[in-house]
Amino acid sequence: MKLHVAAILVIFWLGILTVHTVKGSVGSQPMRKISCVRLSTQQLNIRSLVSYEKQQVPVEAIMFITTKGIKICVSPNQKWVKTAIKKIDRKRTTKGK
């Protein structure tokens, strides 16, 4: 009888330990990055852009980040987008020197 009670308690505690371990591993995973789904069609003020990220999936896009921290997704094929990327890259290289 005592053996059954001990076995039940061991199984109970293993179950609780497993639940806490699973919750901890799921909760400790990093959040997914924000990705572009829709693209803006408006041309942005290049002077207000401080950074960008390239994206391939789910759509090919450039995510510009403004001085206020706003993220705006645009098509990478537009001429003004390529100009903005070059300007941001130049700023990065001059700051690094």
Burial class (CB in 10 A: 0-12, 13-18, 19+), 39: middle
* Mean predicted confidence (pLDDT) in 33-53: 91
pLDDT over threshold 80, residue 20: no
What H or E segment, with its residue span, contains residue 49? Answer: strand 49-55
Alpha-carbon distance 7 to 26, whole Å?
29
Whole-number pLDDT of residue 34: 78
Question: What is the model's pTM?
Answer: 0.63
Kindly report, residue by residue over 49-96, the tens digit of the pLDDT: 999 999 988 899 999 999 999 999 999 999 999 999 999 999 888 876
Higher-confidence residue of 91 and 20: namely 91
What are the distances in angstroms from CA 27 to CA 20, 32, 43, 77, 86? 10, 13, 39, 38, 39
Q: How confident is the model at residue 32 (pLDDT cuts 50, 70, 90)?
A: low
For 46-96, CATH number out of 3.40.1410.10, 2.40.50.40, 3.40.190.10, 1.10.760.10 equals 2.40.50.40
Map out the domains of the chain as residue ranges. 1-30, 46-96
